[in-house]
Structure 1
Amino acid sequence: MFSRTALLFATTALMASLLPVAHAETQPGGHASGKANAAGAAQTGKKSAGSNETIAPSMLGATAPTDERIEVTGHTYGDGVTRRAFGGGLMTPSDSPKSVSAVTRDYIAKQNPALNPMQLIALLPGANVSDTDPLGMTGGNLSVRGLTESQMGFTLEGFPINDIGNFAVYPQEIVDAENLKTIRLAQGSADLDSPHISSSGGVVDMYMIDPKNKMGGMVDVTYGSFNATRGFLRFDTGKIGSTNLRAYFSYSQGRQDHWRGPGWDNKKHGEMKIVNDWGDGNRVSLAVVGNNIQNNAYPNVSKASWDKWGTGFKNPIGGSGLASGDPVNTVYDANFYTPARAGAVNYYKTRPNPFTNIYASMPSTFKLNDHLVQTETPYFWYGYGNGGGAQYTDMSKFVYGKQTLAGTVNGAGKGMQVLYNPSLTETYRPGATTKLTLTTGINRLMIGYWFEYAKQRQSAPYSFVGADGTPLSQWGDSNNVVLSNGEKAQYRNTLTQTQVHTPFIGDSLSLLHGKLTIDAGLKYSIVKRSGTNYLPDTRNKYVSTNYNQALPTAAVRYKIDSHNQIFVSVATNFRMPQNYALYDAGSFNQRTGLYSTQANPDQKAEISISEEAGWRYQDDLISTSLTYFHYNFTNRLYTQSVQDGISGSFYTTNINAGGMHSDGFDAEIGTRPIHNIRPYVSVEYLHAVTDSNLPAGSGAGADYVRSKGKKAPQAPDWQVGFGLDYDDGTRFANFNLKYVARQYATFMNDQSIPGYVRMNVGLGYRFPKVSIFKSPVLRLNLQNISDNRYLNWIQSPQANAQATTGVFGKTVSGSVPTYKIASPFAALATLSSDF
């Protein structure tokens, strides 16, 4: 199917390229940007040599949208492409005293429009990105310098989007690529005003485009492999009346079949942004994002399963089948295809992942006088959804803590039943960041405060499935099992409340006529997390934790001349323990009196100290950056499967994995057009080492595995990104390549996934104006063109995969890591235009 689809699309693109050429400079629909943003104006930015991009003096507090320091002027196309950005939009001039990389509209607008933000930054230095489907609807994962996305802070329009409980990031829910202006990756540390309690690594800041000054909009439609379809429509109001008030409203919907096994994904997504600016640097904006996604989860695999069956599903039902004892995850048996067999808890329809979320943010800037600027970013975050699962249960023998009870659904249900048991989460998360910036001559002082009060309700009720194996309610919140004591049967039932108070202060001193900038700052994070566990017979019914952490940061940047600059920075970052560490949950072992997930609420926060030293060269044609980095981690937080030394059963708990350190360098280089060609290269070398022996086992079987001195999991030694962009104003093409070296899946380095290369190709053609469509564009995106089948993410790192002898001479049983499989070749064609 793929080859025919690709051939059809390639033929279409080739035919388009033979049509008469329309010169881009004369196409209607090009737009010039408005004035520099308020912060940029207040900071008296300078232009880099030969550049049309404005760079303001750096400051270690630059998370709000009005703090963005890059403003593109001159001609742009309807999709925001300038044809001038370094490296085809994979690099921007930077004045920051620490490592910062970014992608812009020049790159984003030419990719598959369904890609999520993680996929869009895959070529940046150190960004180890995974995906599982061509449209990015099942999410993805990211590690940077060996730190996963749950150790990094993610913001959209200045507000946090990591899950407040486990700090996970769901990139498929965040924002449509058509409305993305910039994605900025700070690989080393968070900014002073970054609103995060989980950024022991760096941050990813995303910014949406502004509404246009003239009424219009944009539309695109996409079709491709695996019956993938997607449509997007945005309407811009233009300036309303004689005011500067303007807005846009957009909606997108996409659907695709699963490429591996049965299942599908369906996503509905809406966005709006309202902006009003007046006077000299005053601006109020409102961004709202709404998302609803319904899909089926792809099953993860073990290494043994992958080695024997590859992508699996080759003989799903009947045929040679899967013999008893084969080293294959149970998800690969026939139960994944049919609910007919007794105990078929792995049927794909019991593995949905429905979720609804709403983000709202109002980043605003007020120029109080010529020297004082106030920035406000109030926000609200709401989410409701679950991750599905199933259990084959005797309705007369429900284990509810120390009791064994009978259960019914509306008075019905006896004997053995397949029950749907998703983990359901509802989150309310209001907050705000306020800061004042005072500029007096060569000095800039910033004082601010971040407050948040989040409430998260997590439950895991059981409910019936229909005769066809479909849950009666995929949300899991109706038709629930009620026990004979009147309680609802659940394996998780908690309420967590998190209060965050974080004052911060930073000062920037500009000396030697702006050549030398010295930044220093401090934020003090005060976090109180309290929780209630409603399950019976838990060890902690009520729990409360408090974390008070001072986070100093300092940096120096020196401009040697108009092209060369060097910088040195040091920053302290931290991450709270996940809320799962507070509670006992899961199945109850009546013999040991313990749950399968055991609480460990007395953990210390994960602390990192990052140090960077770098050099940049930037001129009219070339932009380069080279950064050396060093990290020291203490109290590395880690979720581990442990075997009980008395009963021999396994349980999951959160532990302190001790220390880790890493050294390495990041480098990137990009050019402006050379005969319409813009290359880009990024490289990272990483040497991450575990400094501690990890605890393993408990009770009489407690010991430590000899992990000290081993390489850290999920930390490839080498990564290389390469991008090549061609754009003559009418025709454009791009080629992307990413190499990621071997990654260990265990702290003992006894299991790993091999390195891989992934290549993507894009082709496009800009047509002349057609009726109301000002700049129609046809593009073809070919993903994973070599159809490379590989494991691209370690879903559950373990201490050791093979049995080993511990420090005290005891045998430590191995635990099986699981992995995700990368998406295969896919061809996607998109027709778009502004109007």
Structure 2
Amino acid sequence: MESQSGIESVNVSGVRRFAGGIMRRQTAAESRSSIGQQYISQKMGASAPLALVSALPGVNYNNSDPLGLAIRQTMTIRGLSMGEMGWVLEGMQGMDQAYYQPYMETWADSENIADMTVIQGSSRLVDPVSTASGGEVIVTVRDPSDKMGGHLSYSAGSYRAQRVFARLDSGYIGNSGVKMFASYSYTAANLFTGSGRNHRTQVDYKITKDWGDYGKSSIYASYDNWYNARLNTTGLSQWEAANAVDNNFSAGNLASTYIPGKTTNYWKPYVYKNEDALVSMQNVFRVAKGVTFHFNPYFRWEATNAPGQTSANVNSLYVGNEKADVNTSGLYYTNAATGQFSAMSNTRQNIYAEGINTYFDIDLTRTNTMQVGYWFDNFSLSQLGSLSPLDQYGNAANDMGKYILRATDGRAISGSNFTLQQQTHALYIGDTQTFFGGKLKIAAGFREMLNYINGTNYVGSQGKFSNSFTQPMPRVSISYDINPHTQVYVNGITNVRAAMPGNSYTTLYNVSTGAVSQQGLASVKPEYTIGEELGLRYHGAVQASVALFNMNMTNHQISTLAVQNGALVSQAISAGGETIRGVTAELATRSYYGFSPYVNAQYVHATMDNDMTYGGKVYHTAGKVMVTTPKFMANIGVNYEHGPFFANLAFKWVDSQYSTFMNDQSMPAYKTVDLGLGYRLPSYWIAHAPTVRLNFTNLSNVHYLGSVASPTVSYKVSQPGYYLAAPMTVMMTASTDF
């Protein structure tokens, strides 16, 4: 359905599904794709939310854990990373604003997701996003059921995987117009290689209030506790050597046992921990005839520790760039004579974000609608990089870095210790005019964003820092319905993305030498994109869409990984300008004899516009193909339903992609096949529509590199890092409504 304002709303019901729910009729003047609960419910019970959209056009996604428990995941769309997308959950900004990671696993369980929409290369005018230079992902959580009931499921599979999910719906409570649901899930599994067992606990809650003709209100809240034993990254030559002898890539694993003084990469100090809580309130009120008011406040809290392992000496430790005497009480030495010891190198963060997005939809005439609104977001981050000494068994006293090494004056031995705060203000206005009975629609909009960041570095000489910018972002779109089945559209849009707060402005230090390991920048220009699309859609016996796109980007910031005092941390590489051109096509049919096929493909040519300067040397990268941008990608799938039986088969091909800006190393192309089988049993007693399904990912057990973890300027300067992809994984799920 489409709102009168011209902004296409997310529709979660009443639409005839194509290809098992993976291709939905779209009418907005932009390239977009959606999946619904019908499609989600047939996938693996523990699928990561990002994995659910991996078959959509232009989505280049891979996760080192198909069970949704690992943070080793990447996604690019048209060559732009997930840190260059806008992320919206229930009307709030869902992005982890420190390092621009969505961490969607902490948002909601897949059973509670009603709709996921990907907008490739564009974003909606009214959404609270500040990072949407490459597009937008929108997640809608289901409303509580009208009647009391619930849902139960249990899953078990490869690598001792287990998952339980339970949800209870209250139904309407009397005549109050109030209904709610609450759900709980617990997921656990071993790594597919190496040591460690991951687990995640998720609690979701939603309450809605129907105000009749006056509007509707809802509150969504979730809590997540996540423990992830991370896989190590690997180099290309290391992976090729391991793959040649078929050793399941164990050559690159973190060490499974700890020997004091010898083991430098024990798996336990690398475990990632995350606690996350969020609340979003959405209100829609009809305040006058033709005037609707939207009022959406939200809040998010997050505490994380992303540590690693390091070796240090008590005779050479620093607080920033100041040498410090250390309190060695209880310290276990790996070499007492020299003062050497091992430690977990913490990167402990506390994050708070609160904001409000409010706007009006105003029907000026029968054919003209205006939108006007304001969004404010306040984000704060405190980070402490510290050392937790390891005992003789390789254990730290506390997983979250509570008991840390301190100087005799009480200061933490630290190479990073800072706080920062970022405020984002956005004013926006848009107008949509229709002609010829709604066949022609012309929309224009304008968005002005103000971004201000300030902070204090508590180590070294940097002290206080700040940066700000304002950016106007105009947009225009035109769509025309040639007939009831055929639509053409053009879309022109501008977008901006502020530099990553967590790794751009603060100077970091080596705790063993006091030397600068990352120089904080006084100011960073934001990423800015200008994009155009020309699209054609057909809705009939088949559903098809084709989109030609062109994008010009300036001040492109590429996310990579770097070692900071033994811990892998996100950093950004400035890649200058970029030009992205290509075409995306998508095709699906209705069900014929139970079969509904689906196919999409993308060709993209993305080149760098400028030479790069790295380490004081100029590299001639102008005209080179951008990293992490496969030229070709394709998905072929078929869904089958006959009576109580259903099945789905999905094939994905991703072309090779460069991992260095000089294009002297690339990640090999890969092909994968996923399979799902299911059967709906007859209802019995309180069990309504019980279902059993069996899902296989990487059915042919292909050994491949899934994504580029850390691109570099050239392999001759430093080797790029890669994330391993998981071998074949199987999971069986039994579920029922009641």
Regarding TM over 0.5, the answer is yes
C-alpha deviation, 1:381, in angstroms: 0.8
Query: Aligned partners of 1:685 and 1:147: how far apart in 2?
Result: 14
One-letter identity of the residue aligned with 2:282: P
Provide the C-alpha distance between the structure 2 equivalents of 1:501 and 1:315, rounded to a whole number of angstroms.
49
1:260 is aligned to 193
Decide whether aligned partners of structure 1 residues 409 and 209 sit closer, same or farther in structure 2, where only a CA change above 3 A counts. Answer: farther
Aligned partner of 2:491 among 558, 565, 569: 569
The worse-fitting range, judged by mean Cα deviation, of 627-636 and 343-352 is 343-352
Q: 1:772 to 1:677 in 2, by over 3 A?
A: same
Question: Structure 2: how far apart are the matches of 1:652 and 1:446?
Answer: 38
In the alignment, which residue of structure 2 is the partner of 1:585?
A: 508
Amino acid paired to 1:828: M
The residue number in structure 2 matching 1:635 is: 555
Asked if structure 2 preserves the Cα contact closer than 8 Å seen for 1:564 and 1:616, the reply is yes
CA spacing shift, 1:402–1:143, aligned 2, 3 Å: closer
Q: Which runs of 5+ in 2 are unaligned?
A: 334-338, 563-568
Quote the Cα distance in structure 2 between the aligned partners of 1:602 and 1:758.
43
2:272 aligns to what SS in structure 1? coil
Which deviations, in whole Å up to 9, do the C-alpha atoms of 1:554-592 show, x marking residues without a partner?
1000000100010001100111111211011141685xx
- Return 335-344 or 300-309, whichever deviates more: 335-344
Are 2:6 and 1:59 equivalent residues in the alignment? yes
Please report the TM-score for the alignment, with normalisation by the length of structure 2: 0.95
Give secondary structure in 1 for the equivalent of 2:415.
strand
Q: 1:308 is paired with a residue of what secondary structure?
A: helix
Q: 1:288 to 1:315 in 2, by over 3 A?
A: closer
Per mean C-alpha deviation after superposition, the further-off stretch among 284-293 and 190-199 is 190-199
State the match for 1:488 in structure 2: 412
Report the CA distance between 1:605 and its aligned residue.
0.6
**Structure 1 residue aligned with 2:672:** 758
Letter in 2 for 1:823: A
Distance 1:652 1:206 in 2: 25
The one-letter amino acid paired with 1:85 is R
Match for 1:98: what amino acid? E
The alignment status of 1:613 with 2:538, answered yes or no, reads no
The 8 Å contact of residues 661 and 690 in structure 1, kept in 2 or not, is answered as yes
Q: Which residue of 2 aligns with 1:807?
A: none
Give the letter aligned to residue 200 of structure 1: S
Matched, 1:744 2:658: yes
Q: Does 1:217 align with 2:139?
A: no
- Deviation, 1:244, is 1.9
Structure 1 partner of 2:566: none
- 1:434 counterpart residue number: 358
Q: Following the alignment from structure 1 to structure 2, what is the Cα–Cα distance between the partners of residues 104 and 641?
A: 34
Does the residue aligned with 2:510 lie in a helix, a strand or coil?
Answer: strand
Within the alignment, does 1:560 sit opposite 2:507 as a pair? no
Q: Does 1:173 align with 2:106?
A: yes
Q: How far off is 1:656 after superposition? A: 3.3
Whether contact under 8 Å (1:600, 1:654) holds in the other structure is no
**Deviation of the 1:411 alpha carbon:** 5.9
Distance (Å, rounded) in 1 between the aligned partners of 2:493 and 2:262: 53
Report the residue type matching 1:569 in the other structure.
N
1:364 and 2:283 aligned: yes
Q: 1:521 to 1:800 in 2, by over 3 A?
A: same
For 1:798-817, list aligned pairs within 5 A: 798-802=712-716, 814-817=717-720
Counterpart CA distance in 2 for 1:71 and 1:403 is: 62
Q: CA deviation at 1:341?
A: 4.0
- Cα gap change, 1:170/1:535 in structure 2, threshold over 3 Å: closer, same or farther? same
- Taking the aligned partners of 1:269 and 1:312, their CA distance within structure 2 comes to 39
Task: Indicate the residue corresponding to 1:475 in structure 2.
Answer: 400
When structure 1 is superposed on structure 2, of 171-180 and 543-552 the one drifting more is 171-180
- Could you tell me which amino acid in structure 1 is paired with residue 714 of structure 2? N
Give 1:599's aligned residue.
520
In the alignment, does 2:426 pair up with 1:502? yes
Residue range with higher mean Cα deviation, 628-637 or 362-371: 362-371
For residues 259 and 312 of structure 1, what CA distance do their matches in structure 2 show? 18
Partners of 1:369 and 1:652 in 2: CA distance: 49
Distance 1:161 1:610 in 2: 24
Partners in 1 of 2:219 and 2:442 — Cα distance?
A: 33
- Counterpart CA distance in 1 for 2:736 and 2:323 is 63
**Unmatched tracts of structure 1, length 5 or more:** 1-53, 74-83, 318-327, 643-650, 803-813
Structure 1 residues 409 and 236: alpha-carbon distance in aligned structure 2, compared to 1, 3 A threshold:
farther
Query: 5 Å matches for 1:279-428?
Result: 279-280=212-213, 282-310=215-243, 314=247, 332=253, 336-408=255-327, 410=329, 412=331, 415-428=339-352
* 1:87-106 map, 5 Å: 87-106=19-38
How much has 1:673 moved relative to structure 2? 1.3
* The 10-residue stretch of structure 1 (512-521 or 654-663) with the greater mean CA deviation from structure 2: 654-663
Q: Which of residues 549, 557, 579 is equivalent to 1:661?
A: 579
- State whether residues 90 and 107 of structure 1, in contact with CA within 8 Å, keep that contact through their aligned partners in structure 2: yes
- Residue 490 of structure 1: SS of its match in structure 2? coil
Q: CA deviation at 1:486?
A: 2.7
Contact between 2:320 and 2:414, CA under 8 Å: does it hold in 1? no
| CA shift for structure 1 position 135 | 0.5
- Aligned partners of 1:312 and 1:59: how far apart in 2? 57
Describe the SS at the equivalent of 1:309: helix
Q: Secondary structure at the match of 1:301?
A: coil
Task: Select the structure of larger CA radius of gyration.
Answer: 1
Match of 2:120 in 1: 187
2:438 is matched with which residue? 514
Q: Is the 8 A contact 1:571 1:610 kept in 2?
A: yes
Deviation readout 1:394-440 (Å, 9 max, x if unpaired)? 12321334433332355645522111112111111010100100013
Describe the SS at the equivalent of 1:362: strand
**Mapping for residues 437-452 of structure 1, pairs under 5 Å:** 437-439=361-363, 440-452=365-377
Q: Secondary structure at the match of 1:118?
A: helix
CA deviation after TM superposition for structure 1 residue 313, in Å: 10
Give the equivalent residue in structure 1 for 2:10.
68
Distance in 1, matches of 2:734 and 2:278, equals: 29
TM-score by length of 1: 0.84
Match of 1:681 in 2: 599
Residue 468 of structure 2 is aligned to residue 526 of structure 1: no
SS of equivalent to 2:124: coil
Secondary structure of the 1:106 match is helix
1:163 match: secondary structure: coil
Question: Deviations for 1:748-780, whole angstroms, at most 9, x for unmatched residues?
Answer: 100001111111000000011122111100000
> Is 278-287 or 729-738 further displaced after alignment?
278-287
Shift of 1:469: 1.2
- Alignment equivalent of 1:785, drawn from 689, 699, 706: 699
Q: Which residue of 2 aligns with 1:535?
A: 459
C-alpha separation between the residues in 2 aligned to 1:428 and 1:420?
A: 25
User: Over residues 139-186 of structure 1, what are the superposed CA-to-partner deviations in whole Å (9 max), with x where a residue is unaligned?
Assistant: 321100000000101111111111112212223222211001110000
For residues 561 and 169 of structure 2, the distance between their equivalents in structure 1, rounded to whole angstroms, comes to 52
Q: How many residues align?
A: 725
Per-residue Cα deviation, 1:175-212 (whole angstroms, up to 9, x for no partner): 21100111000001111122122111000000011100
Q: Secondary structure at the match of 2:238?
A: helix
Instruction: Tell me if structure 1 keeps the 8 A contact 2:260–2:393.
Output: no
Q: For 1:776-814, what per-residue CA distance to the aligned partner results, in whole angstroms no more than 9, with x for missing partners? A: 000000110000110111011111112xxxxxxxxxxx1
CA contact (8 A) 1:344 1:418 kept: no
Task: Report the identity percentage.
Answer: 29
C-alpha spacing 1:351/1:215, structure 2 compared with 1 (3 Å): same
CA distance in 2, matches of 1:316, 1:673: 42
Closer, same or farther in 2 for the Cα pair 1:604/1:413, shift >3 Å? Answer: same
In 2: Cα distance, 1:192 partner to 1:831 partner: 41
Partner AA of 2:734 in structure 1: L
Q: Distance in 1 between matches of 2:430 and 2:248?
A: 62
